[in-house]
Amino acid sequence: MNTIDFIRFGLGASRGSMMGLVNDLRDAPMAQPTVNGGNHALWILGHLVYTEDFVVHTIILGRDPSPLHAWSPLFRFGTEPKTDPAAYPDYDELLAKWEEVRAFTLATLDSMTDEDLDKPAPGCPEEWKGWFGTIAKALNSQIIHPTMHYGQLTDIRRSLGRPVLMA
């Protein structure tokens, strides 16, 4: 397996794990993981879609703003989830957009060679170089990122009294 295939596999595996939980919470998109709030499924889904779009277009390809730039106030790093569902795009719209964004990510990956992966990511700010400094690091972040939020979705399910789901 070459590095491109390894990244493609990782992107598919991390997203595949998330989708079982994301689909299970479709009927409770605003449920939060604790009585003190936290990230709800609608915010997590939008945040993952927005972030992947930003990382690929802006950090990897150096195109600013990214196509989903208008979603930045809702989903960028550091935003607080709102409790009003009307503030967000529809759940199905976010799922469809993730399909579109992921297709673009994979097409971008398919246009590269293993040697390209070691190149600096042209849109990466200096302070983010540890995580996103090369094209490979930036793509790897999109393997890891969904798994960072996976636990939040399992906590939401527990707060709703749902049984364990091996997604």
For the residues 39-48, what does the mean pLDDT come to?
98
State pLDDT tens for residues 63-97: 999 999 999 999 999 999 999 999 999 999 999 99
106: number of Cβ within 10 Å = 15
For the residues 139-162, what does the mean pLDDT come to?
96
Q: How confident is the model at residue 166 (pLDDT cuts 50, 70, 90)?
A: confident
What structural domains does the chain harbor?
A: 3-159 (1.20.120.450)
For the residues 103-115, what does the mean pLDDT come to?
98
28: number of Cβ within 10 Å = 16
Which has more confidence, 131 or 166? 131
For the residues 21-30, what does the mean pLDDT come to?
96
Res. 112: pLDDT tops 80: yes
Rounded to the nearest integer, the mean pLDDT of the chain is: 96
Whether 110 contacts 9, CB under 8 Å: no
For the residues 12-40, what does the mean pLDDT come to?
95
Res. 144: pLDDT tops 80: yes
Res. 167: pLDDT tops 90: no
pTM assigned to the model: 0.96
Whether 136 contacts 118, CB under 8 Å: yes
For the residues 96-124, what does the mean pLDDT come to?
98
State pLDDT tens for residues 3-18: 999 999 999 999 999 9
> 153 to each of 33, 41, 68, how far by Cα in Å?
8, 7, 23
pLDDT at 19: 95
